Structure 1
Amino acid sequence: MADPNENEFLDDLEAMEAEIYAAAEEEIDDEALELDQLRAERDEFKDRFMRALADAENARKRSEKDRREAENYGGSKLARDMLPVYDNMKRALEAATDEQREVSGPLLEGVELTMRELLNVFKKHGIEIIAPEVGDRFDPQAHQAMFEAPVPGTKAGDIIQVAAEGFMLHDRLLRPAQVGVSSQPAG
């Protein structure tokens, strides 16, 4: 027969063992919960980091685009203000008669040189002339119709007169060419 003290000792031992297992399981559950919380926090920080990285990259691209646009188009107001200077110099050169060229040759030569230099500066800064010819088709992307008139021998939409040349600054319209357009019905 087993000793009652031995049975009591075994029961106490089993109870202590159960307590130890319960405490260990509780500690394991607490550590697993803490580990899950740390993983969730890590994932949140990783997501925030990736978003911040993407935002920084987008800001870099945006600032690069803004810098390029400022470089290419920052002087568009000055360029637009210089166009009447070109127009006036061109009109002055076109208005000079042969007599005036004989009398004021050096002066007109100076104006021509200044005009060439102005065109070189335009080219250097990406300004190109839009020079339509009589008979070309009207293009609303590059031309501004100043008037319409029926002209025999033309089709509707043909350019019948060029009042002023237009200008492009790189790929942007600085000023449309000012033209007269035929309204002659096809027939």
Structure 2
Amino acid sequence: MADPQQQPLDEQVATPESMDEQADATPDLDAIHAAFEVERAEMRDRLMRSLADLENIRKRAEKDRREAAIYGGQKLARDMLSVYDNLNRALSLMDDGLREQQKGLAEGLDLTLRDLGNIFKRHGIELVTPQIGEQFDPHFHEAMFEAPVPGTKAGQIIQVVSEGFRLHEHLLRPAQVGVSSTPA
């Protein structure tokens, strides 16, 4: 009679020996269960770390993509600054007599400079134009020389040699300035 349904109730009642056998088997099940729980926790931890790594990679890639779109032309923009400077210098060297003589050339240079300035604005390139008397700021200015100037404080801008430029919040080129060395 192997079938428990067909065994009499007296035979189905647990005996102390069968209880010992079940007790011996229970620690094995508990140990297996504990091992599975530890492994499950480790796998869950690895999964969570992998998901976090994946999210960080996604964010970093998105940031890199945004920066590439904004600052991708930074090298070209920096190279174009000399063109802007040269056009500006050419116009500043033309006195009124030469402007009248070479009216077409002067207008062409003026229009080209204005157009280049508009292109700069459209692409987020802004002029850094310090004012005489402003305090020197090493984040935006490059000191080309120091000179004692009466009536000024040390560190004040006394001359603007060339304008600076920045692309959004990145400085492309600092404004080149002369700074007063007169003590306060």
- Scaled by the length of structure 2, the TM-score of the pair is 0.87
Aligned length: 172
Match of 1:44, SS?
helix
1:183 maps to which residue? 181
Q: 1:138 aligns with which of 136, 139, 149?
A: 136
Q: Quick one: which amino acid aligns to residue 146 of structure 1? A: M
Q: Quick one: which amino acid aligns to residue 28 of structure 2? A: D
1:112 aligns with 2:110: yes
Q: 1:62 aligns with which of 51, 60, 63?
A: 60
2:164 maps to which residue? 166
Task: Pick the structure with greater CA Rg.
Answer: 1
Match of 2:134, SS?
coil
Question: Which stretch of structure 1 is more off in the superposition, 109-118 or 159-168?
Answer: 109-118
Report deviation, 1:54: 0.9
Report deviation, 1:18: 2.7
1:98 aligns with 2:89: no
Q: Quick one: which amino acid aligns to residue 16 of structure 2? A: A
Report deviation, 1:165: 0.4
1:75 maps to which residue? 73
Q: Give aligned-pair identity as a percent.
A: 58
Match of 1:136, SS?
coil
Once superposed, which parts of structure 1, at least 4 consecutive aligned residues long, lie more than 3 Å away? none
In structure 2, distance between residues paired with 1:21 and 1:29:
13
RMSD of aligned alpha carbons: 1.6
Report deviation, 1:100: 2.1
Q: Quick one: which amino acid aligns to residue 25 of structure 1? A: A
Q: Show structure 1 runs of 5+ residues with no match.
A: 1-12
2:121 maps to which residue? 123
Q: What does the per-residue CA deviation read over 1:115-138, in whole Å, with 9 as the maximum and x for residues that have no partner? A: 111111111221110111222221
1:20 maps to which residue? 18
Q: Quick one: which amino acid aligns to residue 103 of structure 2? A: G
Report deviation, 1:180: 0.6
Q: Show structure 2 runs of 5+ residues with no match.
A: 1-10
1:51 aligns with 2:49: yes
Report deviation, 1:55: 0.8
Report deviation, 1:26: 2.1
Q: Quick one: which amino acid aligns to residue 87 of structure 2? A: M
Match of 2:15, SS?
helix
Match of 1:151, SS?
coil
Q: What does the per-residue CA deviation read over 1:83-138, in whole Å, with 9 as the maximum and x for residues that have no partner? A: 11110000111111222222222222121111111111111221110111222221
1:88 aligns with 2:108: no
Higher helix share: 1
Report deviation, 1:35: 1.3
